[in-house]
Structure 1
Amino acid sequence: MLASYGARRDTARFPDPDEFRPARWLEGSLPKESLPFAPFGNGPRFCPGRNLAMIEAAMVTSVLGRAFDLAPDRSGPPVTERVAFATFPANLYLRARPRA
């Protein structure tokens, strides 16, 4: 989900959020954490496979949810985000116990 509405209202990360200044993205003054979460892109160049990916993710989650009891594993380091070609969680661990 693209959280652009909230990102555009965050004055701590986006000075003058309602001002049209496309050059702000070229200045290099915004940290990577300022970018909104857009795993499939946005606008006219969004990922054409996003609908299939969302259906597959829902199906895998439902199959695992029926077969296992899932609980967070908090024994590791805190969960963070890793920004590379795509944004994904780091240190996100689950414990899976088969259901009887």
Structure 2
Amino acid sequence: MANDFPISLSTQLREHLRALRKQQRMTQAQLGERVGVSQARIAEIEANPGAVSVEQMMLLLSTLGASLRLHVHTSDQPAHAAAEPGAPAYIPARKQGSW
């Protein structure tokens, strides 16, 4: 059974990443080992998922049995505009770096 979790802001991923990891009965260290990073890096990603590249996020999601799906809205209003009052209209770019 598929479950969809609409996400408009990267900060909303925090709870979902942690929940997916726990659902798979994995510790941060075990997940890190599977994707080739340290436990500390997994903790950083769970705390600030907006600081990871799309490629890295897709690897994590795949490892956790989830995937990334784009949804095109049919209205003229972007999804993030209705998400939360005062929410930023964009996610600022972050410095690129290694895992």
TM-score normalised according to structure 1 size: 0.26
**In proportion to residue count, which structure has more helix?**
2
Q: Which of 1 and 2 has greater Rg?
A: 1
**In proportion to residue count, which structure has more strand?**
1
